[in-house]
């Protein structure tokens, strides 16, 4: 089963080196509009650190190819979906 999951993630374009629980940092400029302290305003989260809480490869038990597959939690109130090329493992 682990081999099947690994193959699925590679097919879906997800970085298999990154896993749930990894500590990551934003390495490129990423502008968000849903930051709790800057809601509705453009806010660059470059350099912010957080934890990977999910890698989206399935929805309702069907494989999906999410555009932003990695869900990272930065604080209690702030999560964001990101691409693997925007993150670096620390």
pLDDT at 3 over 80: no
Q: Which of 4-13, 19-28, 51-60, 65-74 has the lowest average pLDDT?
A: 4-13
pTM above 0.85, yes or no: no
What confidence tens digit (pLDDT) does each residue in 30-47 have?
999 999 999 889 999 999
Residue with the bigger pLDDT between 13 and 90: it is: 90
Buried b / exposed e over 20-56, threshold 16 CB at 10 Å, is: eebebebeeebebeebeeeeeeebebeebebebeebb
- pLDDT score at 60: 86
The mean predicted confidence, pLDDT, of the chain is 84
Domain ranges of the chain: 2-89
The residue-averaged pLDDT of 63-86 equals 92
CATH number of 2-89: 2.30.30.50
């Amino acid at each position: 089963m682990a081999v099947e999951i690994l193959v699925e993630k590679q097919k879906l374009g997800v970085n298999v080196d990154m896993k749930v629980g990894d500590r990551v940092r934003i390495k490129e400029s990423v502008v968000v509009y849903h930051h709790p302290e800057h809601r509705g305003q453009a806010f660059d989260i470059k350099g912010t650190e957080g934890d990977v809480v999910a890698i989206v490869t399935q929805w309702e038990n069907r494989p999906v190819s999410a555009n932003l597959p990695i869900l990272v939690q930065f604080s209690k109130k702030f999560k964001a979906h990101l691409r693997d090329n925007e993150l670096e493992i620390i």
